[in-house]
């Protein structure tokens, strides 16, 4: 039986699967449009935490030429904002390590936050001797942050270590794809210093955590997991995400994983291995 005949819901990672940087993977639009024409439930699931739902939707439209509704778009940042919103009481807030896009996502979901931006005071140890933390900071949310600096890391450390804020991370991807041939440090790399200094791991909201799947499953009533397929390029995030969620997985070789890597001892094993998304038939 073909993949298209067997599955009703297809969860697609983005970077390395449907696009690389700002260029679509060959054949991606054709496959996605074909699935949509068959009334398959096509959902985009990414650990990219920098986009709002609007900019996410714009990317799908501009790169893939496909118009999708907001309920088909899930990122680790969007899911993290929903996670903390449901747990914050009136007057409580978060300290955010993140980009403008994630800050806007928090605002859209009514999450009061501090920490965003590059203008945080303090740059050396002695600057924090008399630092007075703001009250009612219940979470430190860590994500990709191109303005991350020592001052921000120090304040996050204080809120977690001294104030008891819960440390969560949108995701822990060490790298991110910015083009067909180039990767750069990702969220996991940005947060590594804070995590090491704390000596504790954050609660991860995005892949491979089941938290994101639970949100998607509830929104789309995915009762029969045997009819759901996760398509991704990363063994440790996408494929492990599917395994943790109890659904089948398809690894594509257009991203960070090579066929040789599958032969390593202890390697996570996907249900299916495809050269690219174009092989979904």
Phi-psi region of 210 (alpha: psi -120 to 50; beta: other; left: phi over 0): alpha
Active site residues: 8
Query: Residue 83 is encoded by which pair of tokens?
Result: 């996670």
Under DSSP, the state recorded for 36 is H
3-state class of 35 per DSSP? helix
Long-range contacts of 121-128 (CB under 8 A, 24+ apart): 121/151, 122/151, 122/154, 122/155, 123/149, 123/150, 123/151, 124/150, 127/151, 128/154, 128/155, 128/158
Euclidean distance between CA atoms 13 and 16, whole angstroms = 8
């Amino acid at each position: 039986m073909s993949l298209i005949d067997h599955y009703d819901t297809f969860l697609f990672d983005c970077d390395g699967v449907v696009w690389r940087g700002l260029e679509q993977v060959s054949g991606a639009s054709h496959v996605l449009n074909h699935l949509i024409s068959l009334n398959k439930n096509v959902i985009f699931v990414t650990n990219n935490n920098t986009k709002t739902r609007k900019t996410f939707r714009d990317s799908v439209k501009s790169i893939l030429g496909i118009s999708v509704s907001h309920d088909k778009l899930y990122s680790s940042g969007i899911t993290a904002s929903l996670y903390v919103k449901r747990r914050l009481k009136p007057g409580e807030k978060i300290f955010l390590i993140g980009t403008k896009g994630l800050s806007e996502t928090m605002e859209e979901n009514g999450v009061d936050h501090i920490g965003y931006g590059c203008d945080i005071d303090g740059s050396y140890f002695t600057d924090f001797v008399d630092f007075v933390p703001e009250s009612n900071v219940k979470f430190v949310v860590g994500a990709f942050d191109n303005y991350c600096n020592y001052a921000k890391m120090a304040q996050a450390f204080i809120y977690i270590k001294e104030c008891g804020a819960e440390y969560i991370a949108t995701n822990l991807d060490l790298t991110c794809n910015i083009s067909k041939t180039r990767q750069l440090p990702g969220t996991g790399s940005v947060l590594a210093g804070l995590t090491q200094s704390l000596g504790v791991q954050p609660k991860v909201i995005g892949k491979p955590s089941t938290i994101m799947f639970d949100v998607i499953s509830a929104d789309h009533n995915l009762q029969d997991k045997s009819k759901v397929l996760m398509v991704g390029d990363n063994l440790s995030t996408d494929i492990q995400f599917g395994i943790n969620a109890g659904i089948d997985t398809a690894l594509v070789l257009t991203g960070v994983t090579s066929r040789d890597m599958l032969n390593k001892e202890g390697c996570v094993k996907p249900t299916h291995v495809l050269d690219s998304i174009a092989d979904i038939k």
